[in-house]
Amino acid sequence: MSMAVKPEACRVGIVGYGEVGRILAEDLRARGVARIGAYDVKLGTAQEPPLREHAGRHDVVLAASHVALAADVDLVVSAVTASQTVAVAEAWAPAIRRDTWFLDFNSASPGAKAKAAALIDGAGGRFVEGAVMTSVPPHRIRVPLLLGGPHAAALLPLLDALGFAAKVASEKLGVASATKMCRSVMIKGLEAMVVESFTAARAYGVEDSVLASLAETFPGIDWERQGTYFFQRVIQHGRRRAEEMREAAETVREIGLEPWSAAGTAQRQAFVADLTDAGAMGDRLAARTDWRVDADRLLAALSRPR
């Protein structure tokens, strides 16, 4: 498809109609994209009704399968959980039309992106890795996005026209994803460390002293506010973050280094996700105003018989 094609003439498909997929659909529609389709594995399950309700409000056509979606798109955005990165590419490879753009939005390791790229490019599509560099909801489609791979520069003008805030990191596949994953070792690791440190401090009754010491060492950070924010992010998105951190651990492992920190972060994120799913952490989507409330909930859950 020519890069001169206007947004309203571009046919966009979204694989994964979760929070990110729905945000992209809304913003693409606002940019004038007239034809938006989507597919999600939750279709045909008890979780389908809210997907159909959203799709109906925004005139998004829900496809019955990967194959059905692949038949009528110029650009597909894969926005699924990290563990499904290669599986989606496997599902698309037999059906993708020649020269269809395949933008992989997933938080996966360079190795996973390389496997997905081989499948898509080998089938005649054009794979571009996308590394989302911060949380999507505040920025929406304008979230900072690094592109990578031999087709990245050619796709950039179309993404600009569609409203993405993208830039090419490298024509070498894996550079964008490595940047994202190495950053995640730090960012998601900080979240996990704060949950662990602050909860333990709360249990010992030393939280005020710990916060005062942190403020002295890192005076530029409001640790009360940061702690509340980190607890909220882990409670709301711990499951997805755990998957991302397993991919971050794999990124580290791919260079021959044992990913003790990344692997531990994945476990802590998954641990909080399990408690949240069990109802121990309160309303997942509620606004958090004091991290102590969530730390106390976590401690209460630990004290229950298992």
pLDDT (tens digit, 9 = 90+) per residue, 183-205? 999 999 999 999 999 999 999 99
Average pLDDT value for the chain: 95
Q: Whose CA is closest to 236, among 173, 282, 169?
A: 282
Tokens coding 108: 């996966």
Task: Give residue 2's pLDDT band: very low, low, confident or very high (50, 70, 90).
Answer: very low
Contact assessment for residue 174 and residue 150, using Cβ atoms and an 8 Å cutoff: no
Q: What is the pLDDT of residues 123-171, one digit of tens each?
A: 999 999 999 999 899 999 999 999 999 999 999 999 999 999 999 999 9
Averaged pLDDT for residues 254-261: 97
In the chain, the percentage of residues whose pLDDT exceeds 70 is 98
Phi first, then psi, for residue 62 (nearest 5°) are -85, 120
Q: Which two tokens stand for residue 291?
A: 């991290």
Domains and CATH numbers, the chain: 7-173 (3.40.50.720), 177-303 (1.10.1040.10)
* Alpha helix stretches (DSSP H) within the chain: 19-30, 48-57, 66-70, 85-92, 110-122, 136-139, 152-162, 175-204, 207-217, 223-253, 260-277, 291-303
